[in-house]
Structure 1
Amino acid sequence: MLFRQLFDAESSTYTYLIADHTTKAAVLVDPVLEQVERDLKLLKELGLILHYCLETHVHADHVTGTDRLRQATSCSGIVPDRAHVACADRHIKDGETLHLGDITITAIATPGHTDSHMAYLVNDDRVLTGDALFIRGCGRTDFQSGDAGTLYDSVTKHLFTLPDETLVYPAHDYRGHTVSTIGEEKRWNSRFAERDGRGANRLRHRPSFIEFMNHLNLPDPKKIMEAVPANEMCGHLAATA
């Protein structure tokens, strides 16, 4: 399996390129509009055939590169089930899989950051967590029908139940981290873990997590007014502006 983590500095977004060495079939997860030329160049250099652009959710901080990549490669655009993206070629449901040669990508419903969000388990040894789980953090829950209690349940019941050695690759990082593990995040992610009276780490209680998330008072993403409507059109609005 070819696995590459690509970075957009303006939005602190990770795009993931995954491909099968034998068939050369590839998928880009969470592509960024401004990085389309970079991604096309890499695909050409590596001799890969882009089959899918796959989104973890409808992003509010950047515009997807899916529309331009579809025009350039005839790939399919895939978004989570219940995402309001009529232009998508497919809406993927919880538990459904994509196959690229010997690679299996399984969708795991992880709503909470938004009301339609997926994580993707790749070959059972790494998980692309989108904005549901960051390295030592998590995505906000105060817009796009987000809900803190729902996010807590998604992470603790669906991500933290994966094996501890499962590698964690998020959609964003703002502190220079690139990869973690489920075991690390269960122990050291301060959004979900806390110290008990004896100094040992334990899972934060759900009401405590909800209270914390509901009082973050973060500013809106700079591109939210542009990004959300554009991403509901697979990036087409921004691409033709």
Structure 2
Amino acid sequence: MIFRQLFEPDIFTYTYLLGCERTRRAVLIDPVATEVDNYIDLLKKLSLKLLYTMETHVHADHITGSGLLRERLGSKSVVHRDAGAMCADLLVTDGVLLQVGDIEIEVRHTPGHTNGCVSYVVGDRVFTGDALFIGGCGRTDFQQGDAGRLYDSVTSKLFTLPPDTLVYPGHDYNGNTVSTIKQEVAKNPRLGGGKTREEFIDIMSKLDLPYPKYINQALPANRACGREPAVRHG
């Protein structure tokens, strides 16, 4: 499998390129609108055809590149059916399997940060979006956030994966690139080390984080797959 981990430093966002070596078909997980030209250049360099753009959730901190990539390359956008982005080409649910050449992608519904959060399991790795970070997790204080639900999602859908499964998150603010399920189960300050559901809910209630600076632009745009929302007349 062809694999690239791409990073947008302004918003500390990871985008992942996965490509099938045999069929030259590819997917991008969580593409960022400002990076679309770079993605297209990379796809050309690697002789890959983009089949899907796959969102882990509707983002509040950046605008997705899925709409632009659909217009320019004909790729199909994928989101969970509860994400609130009816513009997507494929609305997936828990347990759905997507095949991209020889790459099989399993959708796991991992809500709690938002209702429509998913993680994508691909072989020996999992792309967790904002459900699970390296040494942390996504916030739960807005956009349908629910700390108890996030705890249930992570412990039942992610921490049950094989211990050596590689964890690739949607963001990292400390220069980390990859972790493992074993490491997060043991050492994640919010969710690991045997933390109870009640302890996690208490931790999340005391974070007191500022709202994302791009939220007013990002949420409406991302519900329209990163394009300007349609204006209805009459």
TM-score where L is the length of structure 2: 0.96
After the TM superposition, list the runs of 4 or more consecutive aligned residues in structure 1 that deviate by more than 3 angstroms: none
Query: Aligned AA for 1:32?
Result: V
Counterpart CA distance in 1 for 2:22 and 2:161 is 28
Residues 1:204 and 2:195 are matched in the alignment: yes
- The superposition leaves residues 38-93 of structure 1 with CA deviations (integer Å, 9 ceiling, x where unpaired) of 00000011110000000000000000001110111001011112111121101111
Please report the RMSD computed on the Cα atoms of aligned residues, expressed in angstroms.
0.8
Aligned with 1:203: secondary structure?
A: coil
What are the superposed Cα offsets for residues 150-181 of structure 1, whole Å, 9 maximum, x if unpaired? 00000111100001000000000000000000
In the other structure, the counterpart of 1:198 is: none
1:1-27 deviations in Å (ceiling 9; x for gaps) = 011100000110000000100100000
Deviates more, 1:6-15 or 1:202-211: 202-211
SS at match of 2:119: strand
1:229 lines up with 2:220 in the alignment: yes
User: Could you say which residue in structure 2 is the equivalent of 1:197?
Assistant: none
Measure the CA separation in 1 of the matches of 2:43 and 2:102: 19
- Give the 3-state SS of the residue equivalent to 2:16 in structure 1: strand
Matched, 1:214 2:183: no
Aligned to 1:199: none
CA shift for structure 1 position 192:
1.2
SS of 1:134's equivalent in the other structure is coil
> How many percent of aligned residue pairs carry the same amino acid?
54
Summarize the alignment of residues 45-194 of structure 1 with structure 2, pairs less than 5 Å apart: 45-123=45-123, 125-193=124-192
- For residues 199 and 87 of structure 2, the distance between their equivalents in structure 1, rounded to whole angstroms, comes to 39
Task: Provide the secondary structure at the position in 2 that maps to 1:168.
Answer: strand
Deviation at 1:32, TM superposition (A): 0.1
Amino acid at match of 1:206: R
Distance 1:180 1:146 in 2: 24
Q: Give the equivalent residue in structure 2 for 1:196.
A: none
Report what 2:6 is aligned to: 6
Offset at 1:234? Answer: 0.3
**C-alpha distance in 1, partners of 2:14/2:225?**
18
Structure 2 counterpart of 1:180, which letter? S
Q: Show CA shifts across 1:112-168 (max 9, x none).
A: 000110000002x10000000000000000111110000000011110000100000
Match in the other structure for 2:232? none
The one-letter code matched in structure 1 to 2:28 is L
TM-score (norm 1): 0.94
CA distance in 1, matches of 2:11, 2:139: 15
Count matched residues: 229
User: What secondary structure sits across from 2:185 in the alignment?
Assistant: helix
